[in-house]
Amino acid sequence: MAPYFVVFGQHMVSHGQDYKMLREVELLNEGEGKLSRADEFQKIRSNIEKHLTKAYKRNQRTYDLRSKPRSFEVGQEVIKRNFSLSGAANNVNAKLAPVGVKARVKQKCGQLIYLLEDLNGKELGKFHIKDIW
């Protein structure tokens, strides 16, 4: 394998220690362009913004792989999550209660919130789409 050579003007660098020597004799002009403090901060901010955008897109892509867009129509029968609590006073054991209860969509209150009513017409409240299937 051939050695790696870097040429600076008339000087050829073939080893990492040569950089040290070139800096000592001031033939290697590194860092001459000093930035103001505000410009350094702006450079850091833009770098942070780039990394945050990259992380956001990566996380969004991962999330979108496993999520399915859902929506329900007014009047459609659905099953809502049952939020029952255990209680000795009421002789209720939540782990034995049904997971879902049948309901009907009464109104759509946004992109993800639905107003539900039971099958007899009694209003149950507003529920997020994650608690409806």
- In this prediction, residue 50 carries a pLDDT of 96
The larger pLDDT score, comparing residue 83 to residue 22, is at: 83
The answer, yes or no, to whether residue 48 has pLDDT greater than 80, is yes
- In this prediction, residue 66 carries a pLDDT of 87
- Three-state DSSP class for 124? strand
pLDDT in tens, 79-117: 999 999 999 998 999 999 999 999 999 999 999 999 999
Provide the token pair at 115: 């107003």
- In this prediction, residue 126 carries a pLDDT of 97
Rounded Cα–Cα distance for residues 57 and 132 (Å): 28
- Determine contact, residues 129/105, Cβ cutoff 8 Å: no
Q: 20-24, 66-70, 87-91, 92-96: which range is least confident on average?
A: 20-24
pTM of the model: 0.55
